[in-house]
Structure formats: C-alpha cells, structure tokens
Amino acid sequence: MSSVDIPREAWATRIGFIFAAVGSAVGLGNIWRFPFQVGQEGGAAFLVIYLVFIVAVGFPAMLVEFVVGRYTERNPVGALRELGSGAWQYVGWIFIATGFVILSYYSVVAGWTIRYTILGLQDGYLADAGEAEAQFVTLASGLDAIVLHAIFMAAVILIVGMGIQRGIELAVKVLVPAIIVITVGLAIYAATLEGAGDAYAYYLSPEWSVIAENWTSILPAAAGQAFFTLSLGMGVMITYASYLGENRNLAEDGAIVIGLDTAIAFVTGLIVFPILFTAGVDPADPGAGAIFVSLAAAFGDLTFGWLIGAVFFATVAIAALSSAISLMEVVVSYAIDERNLDRMTAAALIGGGMFLLGIPSAYDLVLLDLFDLFADQILLVLGGLLLMILVGWSLSSLAIDELGRGIGDLGSYGTAWIWAVRIPVVLVLFVALVLGVLDYAE
C-alpha cells in the first residue's frame, strides 16, 4: 500500500505538539553545548548576545518554519518543492543532509551521557582534573563509545518507528516534564554550594570589553547556538508543524517553546557553574569534552557527587533522546512522504546510516568537534538563511495568512514579523555564515 492511501498522521493533543517541540529544542544544546559556549566565549557577555539573538532572530525564524509546515503538510523536501521554484526546490535537501550530520555525532555524545550516568552509579568520577581528562579520553572514543552510540540510536529508531502518537508523543509526555522537574531540583541543590556566589557573579555580570575584542567569534557562535538550541535551520519545526492539521495560535506555541528552551539553558548555567566553582574547576576549558571532564571532576570532589552526577547525566541523556527523535523524524517523514517506505523500515535504514556516519566521531574527538562546527556554524545557518530569504521575500502574503489562521487578523504584527525576517534575521544569518565559514577554514 502506498502512503498516499494512508491519511497523514497527526498529533493527538495540543499539548502533544508543544511537548514534542520543547522536547526537540531542549537537549544537549542546552545542557552540554550552552555552558561550554558561555565558558569559551567569555561568560555573561556571550549570554546577553545569545538572548538578544533568541528573541530577535530565533522567534521570527521559528514562526517561519511553523507556517511552512502547517501550510504544506509536508516533509521539508516536499514542502520546499511545493513552495519554491527553480533551485529553491532543493533547499529541503540541505535539511536532510544536516539531519544526518547532526544526529550522527549527537548520538555519540548522548552515548557518553549514558556512560557517565553509569560511572556515577559506580562511584567512578575522578576528582583530579588530569585523571578525569584521561578517563574521558578512554571512555569517549573507541569501542565503548561505539556500543553506547549504537544503543542510543536503537532507542531513537524504536520510538520514531512507533509513529507520531504512539511513539513520539507518548515519549515526550514523559521525558519533557522529567527534564523540567530534575533541572529545577538540581539548580536548587547547586544554590546551596559554597562556590555559588562566585559562580553567579561570573555567569551574570557581563564584561562588555569581551564583545568588542571577540565579536568575530562571539557573533557566529551566538547565532549558531540560537539556531541549534531552538532546533531551527533543519526542518524539524517544519516537520512537527506538518502534523498539526488544526488552526491554532502558532505565535503562542512558539513563545512557549522558546521560553522553556531558554529557561532550561539558563537554569543549566545555574547548575553547572556553581558546581565548577565549588570544585575549583576553570569554566573556560574549551572543547566538546569540557563539560564531561570538568563536571565529572567536580562531581568527584563533592559529597554525594556520584549521586548528583548520575542524576545530572541521566537528565542529559533524556533530553538528548527527545531531541534526537526530532532529528530522525525529519528524514523519516521524507522517506514516508516521498519514497513510500513504511515508518519502521525508514527509521531502521536511516538510523543505521546515521550510526555509520557517527563512527568516525566515536573514534576521534577532533573529528566530532569538526562535525559539530560544520553542522552548527555552516549547514544549519545556510539552510535557515535560504528558507528565510524565500519565505520573507517571495512568500510573505502566504506566510502572513497562514500565521493568521488560528490567530485572526494580525494587523501590523504580521508586517513587523515579515520585516524582521527580511532584514535582521537574514542579515544576522548571512554575517554568521560568512564568519562561520572563515572560522571553519582556519
């Protein structure tokens, strides 16, 4: 039977869509990537730029993806084929490629979080920074890493293979509340630590001179992080909105998703920095492994650190799972819509391919960093930029009508939104792309 005969799947409940979008947004980007970017890019000054980008760039861009998905009721490749002419038709392919690249290494990192949960339960965190680093290098690459990468990918395949309502929606209704409750709990614990005061000062009082000195790296990093953390630029929100079917206020939904993602990232800083400061670990340690090395060392130093650490890393694993689901769903929805594959077969084939692509990252941390940089600073930004140009400049009245479905007459808000997409969003993404390419070429 071809998929044309089966009615398109849809979310069962309003909250199901919101949880799925929040589950996608809240992930390693918030808990692993965000604190190390803050540390690497100069603390609170980076945080401020990041927040500006979230509101001024992320919010309008998310609404663009929502309307494209709801309007076309298609996967990103099909959606762009329907909306674009000429070369624009192929923009959807960038999203598919990005999904493959990101999930390949995202799953490797997620595997580390499982390993570090187990390590906590074994009381295995090492307080000495040098030893913690050596331990990380052993655990993060090689056979251990590949096995956990495989286990994580298998879990993603199973959930996505079960379908929108019985797989994804059910999973996020459990995972997302768990993430929120545990994160808040850990932040309260962290507030009781000795180093909390110094940590808050570092995290919350910007040194503006840092921006003037390092804007060429802060700007692309903050724009890339804003896109990455909100799951923008690779068709996730297009895909999830394509299962909506009903008229609802997408601006409200977008605000909820962005508010929760930003809150979780912010609160994670309130967990990570007090722990690091209390254990005397430098938050500016660069690189993808930083959080594992420095946090694990800090956990090794704290009373009951093993338990707090296990809870922390388990939460990260859960958050990674609900994001990974969305990454895979983009490609799976394409395979179902356009290739007439059944869902479980599509998930298994695609997940298998992503697993293979991730093997180099599981062997060599340098490669993982390169994949991450390439996906985040180039692919996501490129796909996002092209989509924003297309919708902002040549589909604006269609987009405004579609956003108004479920809200009513947008009045001047509609125009304001489109102009935000046309100029500031496009400009920021363009500059970020150029700087990102230069940075990558170095």
CA 352 to CA 357: how far, in whole Å?
9
CB distance 404 to 63 below 8 Å: no
CA 359 to CA 276: how far, in whole Å?
31
Residue with smaller CB distance to ligand PFF, 102 or 297: 102
Residue with smaller CB distance to ligand PFF, 302 or 327: 327
CB distance 100 to 234 below 8 Å: no
39 near Na ion, judged by CB under 5 A: no
236 near ligand PFF, judged by CB under 6 A: yes
Q: Judged by CB under 6 A, which stretch of 143-151, 186-194, 227-235, 306-314 contacts ligand PFF? A: 227-235
Q: Judged by CB under 5 A, which stretch of 35-43, 119-127, 151-159, 221-229 contacts Na ion? A: 221-229
Question: Of 72, 231, 239, 268, which one interacts with ligand PFF (CB under 6 A)?
Answer: 231
Binding mask 343-382 for ligand PFF (x = CB under 6 A): ----------------------------------------
Q: How far from 42 is each of 11, 211, 269, 278, 409, CA to CA, in Å? A: 41, 8, 14, 19, 43
Contacting residues for 304 by C-beta, under 8 A, at least 6 apart: none
Residue with smaller CB distance to Na ion, 6 or 55: 55
Question: Of 29, 42, 60, 384, which one interacts with Na ion (CB under 5 A)?
Answer: 29
CA 174 to CA 349: how far, in whole Å?
26
Residue with smaller CB distance to ligand PFF, 29 or 92: 29
Q: Judged by CB under 6 A, which stretch of 19-27, 168-176, 187-195, 251-259 contacts ligand PFF? A: 19-27
35 near Na ion, judged by CB under 5 A: no
Matching residue, tokens 């309307």? 67
Question: Of 23, 29, 274, 384, which one interacts with ligand PFF (CB under 6 A)?
Answer: 29
Matching residue, tokens 């808990």? 31
Query: Radius of gyration (Cα) for the chain, nearest Å?
Result: 21
Q: Judged by CB under 6 A, which stretch of 73-81, 225-233, 298-306, 402-410 contacts ligand PFF? A: 225-233
Footprint on residues 83-102 left by ligand PFF (CB under 6 A): 102
24 near ligand PFF, judged by CB under 6 A: yes
Question: Of 30, 104, 262, 278, which one interacts with Na ion (CB under 5 A)?
Answer: 30
Binding mask 118-137 for Na ion (x = CB under 5 A): --------------------
CB distance 72 to 334 below 8 Å: no
